[in-house]
Amino acid sequence: MEDARGKEFDQIFVDLLRASHGKIFITIGEVRATTKNSLIRRLATQTNNTVQDHMEVLEDTGLVTDATLDDVASTVPK
């Protein structure tokens, strides 16, 4: 990434950030679903809302690739 410039940098940046957000979104959802602590559930809900907003902004760039989404999908527990 250090050597990337312009569109190449943008693509790498968006792909990495979108993949990271997608993976943490799943984890936060699991925490919310399994905790009995109402404060943690509320925090997880707020956090997921923020992460969801970030993912939408990244997707609105038009740079998120199918490969990035496939990578995130492969981490979803079955």
What angle in degrees, to the nearest 10, is found between the helix axes of 6-34 and 66-73?
Answer: 20
pLDDT of 13 reads 92
pLDDT of 25 reads 92
**Stated pTM of the model:** 0.81
Q: How far apart are CA 40 and CA 53, in angstroms?
A: 20
What angle in degrees, to the nearest 10, is found between the helix axes of 38-60 and 6-34?
Answer: 160
CB 31 within 8 A of CB 37: no
DSSP H or E stretch at residue 75? none
CB 44 within 8 A of CB 28: yes
pLDDT by position in tens, the chain (length 78): 889 899 999 999 999 999 999 999 999 999 999 999 999 999 999 999 999 999 999 999 999 988 888 877 887 777
